[in-house]
């Protein structure tokens, strides 16, 4: 049996970037839960702006990623989005997933930063979660492609601050990847998604320039 080679596209995030994402996610939850003004928040905001100003000279002049042919060093590095985006970007949900034999299962817990209605996850974040989970399943199983469509059915309000289970499956028919995913609290189905993607080939991927050393 030919071993499955996971599909990746881009560079890994730096360890300090992943630590920052975790801290920012926690900080937002704390700030949103405050009952009144806290001067330390204002002080921290000024510190953050100062750090951004210090880092700005290290950034490339061109904000476009170094993907494709004939790209110069003045563009930024592209970080792999095939899996675990929430580990380095706090604007994405963070989850854990195991993929094998055409299936995936895992867990997710949405912090306060993803709240919409009181105590409930905003539906847009659920759609984002499903898109990330199903594309990670595709990538981990070795065949992935661009999302053509995704639909989400909301069955029950999805609570924040609660450990939830994710289940997903996929099949490939005529170069079309058809995937489904479900999100549960215990045995209660909260929402489900169906996604269709066009199966791509690794040979068709544009080159990605590595980090500059």
User: What are 158-176's pLDDT values in tens digits?
Assistant: 999 999 999 999 999 988 9
CATH of 15-204 among 3.10.129.10, 3.30.200.20, 3.20.20.80, 3.30.830.10: 3.10.129.10
Which among 171, 164, 161 is positioned nearest to 194, based on CA atoms? 171
Spatial distance between the Cα atoms of 130 and 142, rounded to a whole number of angstroms: 18
Q: What is the mean pLDDT of residues 48-59?
A: 96
pLDDT band, very low/low/confident/very high, at 9 (cuts 50, 70, 90)? very high
Spatial distance between the Cα atoms of 16 and 7, rounded to a whole number of angstroms: 24
Spatial distance between the Cα atoms of 46 and 42, rounded to a whole number of angstroms: 6
**Per-residue pLDDT, 1:** 55
Spatial distance between the Cα atoms of 151 and 165, rounded to a whole number of angstroms: 19
Spatial distance between the Cα atoms of 143 and 134, rounded to a whole number of angstroms: 12
Whether 212 has a pLDDT exceeding 70, the answer reads yes
In the chain, what are the domain boundaries?
15-204
Whether 33 has a pLDDT exceeding 70, the answer reads yes
pLDDT in tens, 85-131: 999 999 999 999 999 888 999 999 999 999 999 999 999 999 999 99
Q: Which two tokens stand for residue 143?
A: 């065949």
Percent of the chain with pLDDT over 70: 99
**Per-residue pLDDT, 181:** 98
Q: Which helix (H) or strand (E) holds 52?
A: helix 39-55
**Per-residue pLDDT, 82:** 93
pLDDT in tens, 127-156: 999 999 999 999 999 999 889 999 999 999
Q: What is the mean pLDDT of residues 191-210?
A: 92
**Per-residue pLDDT, 203:** 86
């Amino acid at each position: 049996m030919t071993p499955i080679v996971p599909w990746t596209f881009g560079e890994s995030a730096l360890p300090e970037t992943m630590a920052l994402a975790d801290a920012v996610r926690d900080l937002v939850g704390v700030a949103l839960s405050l009952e009144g003004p806290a001067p330390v928040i204002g002080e921290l905001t000024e510190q953050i702006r100062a750090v951004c100003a210090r880092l700005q000279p290290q950034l490339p002049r061109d904000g476009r990623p170094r993907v494709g042919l004939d790209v110069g060093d003045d563009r930024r590095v592209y970080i792999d989005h095939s899996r675990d985006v929430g580990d380095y970007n706090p604007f994405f949900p963070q989850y854990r997933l195991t993929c094998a034999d055409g299936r995936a299962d895992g867990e997710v817990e949405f912090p306060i930063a993803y709240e919409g209605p009181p105590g409930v996850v905003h539906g847009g974040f659920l759609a984002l979660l499903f898109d990330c989970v199903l594309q990670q399943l595709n990538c981990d199983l070795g065949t992935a492609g661009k999302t053509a469509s995704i639909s989400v059915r909301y069955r029950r309000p999805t609570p924040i601050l609660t450990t939830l289970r994710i289940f997903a499956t996929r099949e490939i028919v005529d170069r079309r990847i058809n995937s489904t995913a479900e999100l549960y609290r215990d045995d209660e189905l909260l929402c489900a998604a169906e996604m269709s993607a066009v199966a791509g080939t690794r040979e068709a991927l544009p080159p990605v320039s590595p980090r500059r050393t």
